[in-house]
Amino acid sequence: MKYRSTRRASPEVGLSDALTAGLAPDGGLYVPVSVPRVDTKALALLSNGVEVAQELLAPFFEGDPLREHLAEICAEAYELPLPIEPLASKDDYVVELFHGPTAAFKDFGARFLAAALSHVPRDDQRALTILVATSGDTGAAVASAFHRRQGFRVVVLYPDNRVSPRQAHQLGCFGDNVTAVRLHGSFDDCQRLVKEALADADLQSRIPLTSANSISIGRFLPQIAYYGIVALEFFRRSGGKLNLVIPTGNLGNALAAVYAREMRLPIGEIALATNANDVLPRFFDGEAYEPKESVSTLANAMDVGTPSNFERLRYLFPDERELRRSLFAFAVSDEAIRETIKSRYVRYREFFCPHTATAVHTLERLRSKGFTGDWAVVATAHPAKFESIVEPLTNSVDVPDTLATLLARESSAVPLENDYSAFRALLLSGA
């Protein structure tokens, strides 16, 4: 399998090169040149998630030296539980993607990327520094995945005082080869500093750098596989297709579900749930695509005004009418997020994080409009990670063991002014 840029102005590359590069040289995003088709009935005979992931991802690894390590990579990335649980409301399910070490779905992508990058041969003997700008969840997942991994160092930048207290604790609790930096600035400022460092040739010659941002193909591919595992599990149980409501910011997670469906996995409708950042709902309602500045909401990991993976979706459906038919989308206000968390607790004793609550609210709307069939909301983070929002509306949320382990560790972050030369000096100091 070759990978080409969505902008078609860079050469096609193999998987290893696409993984290490992150962004294509023309500024586009790497996509596989074709979408492999699978045989659902044959795949459904495999009962083990790791094996399903291997089968689904094998075509994407074909022709690349990483192919011989696929089994090991999948064993690392998919050993996490991936349950589909019934909700209290009839014919509704929840797919829980939050059983990884940092309690959000990004653990799958980060662990897969880390495992894959460990097998890409490098001539350079120096450690590779992974830079991550994070609004909360990505940074912890990447830090956890690369923590104590030979040959890597991680520098995570997050906006001070704009992540939840538990997110901040997680980011700072790794130590060793991981440095957490709390920036006096916004998430956009964090991204700007990372971009500037990646474009700084002199700096790159002194310390080899790469990024692990959400547009990396190494984080996108593994998400296809978990949708495959879940859809096949549901197919084995029910013989039918599962419809999904997916909380969406940059459209990475949801696009993976679209790819899984294009591969002919048993997935039916896909509905996106956004927070008040409503660029996608407007587009799928028939308006023009108009990226905007993001606004802050309770579902902070989805505060995105320019969903970066839209470019990949448009590549997949070059025909505008087909594109608009591929998905539908609803925006959910902070008020509705709060109301949903509260009412599901009062009625059913169910707990949801603010991101997942956008999907629950959307599913309630779809049901009230008369949508039938089996639907699952995709739970992107554990509610305990956002206890400062959830607990005032419910009761205390049980903390999963994995999260409790991280919260029990000491945590510290390096403060930094919003200034590139200060960031550069920090990177060069080896901190």
Ligand X SMILES: *Cc1c(COP(=O)(O)O)cnc(C)c1O
Sole binder of ligand X in the list 15, 225, 301, 337 (CB under 6 A): 301
Sole binder of ligand X in the list 167, 177, 248, 294 (CB under 6 A): 248
Among all chains, which residue has been given the structure tokens 């459906």? 317
Give the total residue count for the chain.
Answer: 431
* Min separation Cβ 247 and ligand X, Å: 5
Task: Give ∠ CA 32-37-40 in degrees, rounded to 5.
Answer: 140
By beta-carbon proximity to ligand X, the closer residue of 169 and 355 is 355
Sole binder of ligand X in the list 1, 130, 302, 336 (CB under 6 A): 302
* Min separation Cβ 254 and ligand X, Å: 6
Considering only residues 346 through 365, tell me which ones interact with ligand X, judged by CB under 6 A: 355
Q: Which stretch binds ligand X (CB under 6 A): 62-70, 245-253, 310-318, 367-375?
A: 245-253
By beta-carbon proximity to ligand X, the closer residue of 70 and 304 is 304
Sole binder of ligand X in the list 22, 139, 218, 247 (CB under 6 A): 247
431/426 Cα distance (integer angstroms): 6
Torsional sign, CA 107, 100, 193, 186: positive
In sequence order, the 6+-apart residues with CB closer than 8 A to the CB of 267 are: 227, 231, 241, 242, 243, 244, 257, 260, 261
* Euclidean distance between the first and the last CA atom of the chain, given in angstroms as a whole number: 38
* Min separation Cβ 350 and ligand X, Å: 17
Number of residues binding to ligand X, judged by CB under 6 A = 17
Sole binder of ligand X in the list 155, 173, 183, 251 (CB under 6 A): 251
By beta-carbon proximity to ligand X, the closer residue of 193 and 329 is 329
Q: Examine residue 106 and tell whether it contacts ligand X (CB under 6 A).
A: yes
Q: Which stretch binds ligand X (CB under 6 A): 198-206, 232-240, 242-250, 319-327?
A: 242-250
By beta-carbon proximity to ligand X, the closer residue of 43 and 381 is 381
Q: Examine residue 222 and tell whether it contacts ligand X (CB under 6 A).
A: no
3-state secondary structure of 363: helix
* Min separation Cβ 380 and ligand X, Å: 3
Considering only residues 195 through 214, tell me which ones interact with ligand X, judged by CB under 6 A: 214
Task: Judge contact between 135 and 215, C-beta under 8 A.
Answer: no
Q: What letter does residue 117 receive in the DSSP assignment?
A: H
* Min separation Cβ 299 and ligand X, Å: 7
For 232-351, strand residue ranges (E) read 242-247, 267-274, 328-331
- Buried/exposed code over 216-225 (b: 16+ C-beta within 10 A; e: otherwise): bbbbbbbbbb
Of the candidates 386, 408, 280, 266, the one whose C-alpha atom is nearest the C-alpha of residue 338 is 386
By beta-carbon proximity to ligand X, the closer residue of 21 and 280 is 280
The letter for the amino acid at 56 is: L
105: number of Cβ within 10 Å: 30
265/73 Cα distance (integer angstroms): 22
Task: Give ∠ CA 58-64-65 in degrees, rounded to 5.
Answer: 110
* Min separation Cβ 54 and ligand X, Å: 23
Q: Examine residue 104 and tell whether it contacts ligand X (CB under 6 A).
A: yes
Sole binder of ligand X in the list 159, 249, 266, 383 (CB under 6 A): 249
Q: Examine residue 137 and tell whether it contacts ligand X (CB under 6 A).
A: yes
Q: Which tokens hold the place of 20?
A: 């290490």
286: number of Cβ within 10 Å: 7
- Tell me the per-residue interface mask from 31 to 60 with ligand X, x by CB under 6 A, - otherwise: ------------------------------
Q: Examine residue 167 and tell whether it contacts ligand X (CB under 6 A).
A: no
Q: Examine residue 380 and tell whether it contacts ligand X (CB under 6 A).
A: yes
Q: Examine residue 253 and tell whether it contacts ligand X (CB under 6 A).
A: yes
Q: Which tokens hold the place of 85?
A: 């649980």
* Min separation Cβ 156 and ligand X, Å: 14
Q: Which stretch binds ligand X (CB under 6 A): 4-12, 18-26, 243-251, 319-327?
A: 243-251
φ, ψ of residue 328 to 5 degrees: the values are -135, 165
Residue 147, sorted as left (phi over 0), alpha (psi -120 to 50) or beta, turns out to be beta
Residues that bind ligand X (CB under 6 A): 104, 106, 137, 214, 247-254, 301-302, 355, 380-381
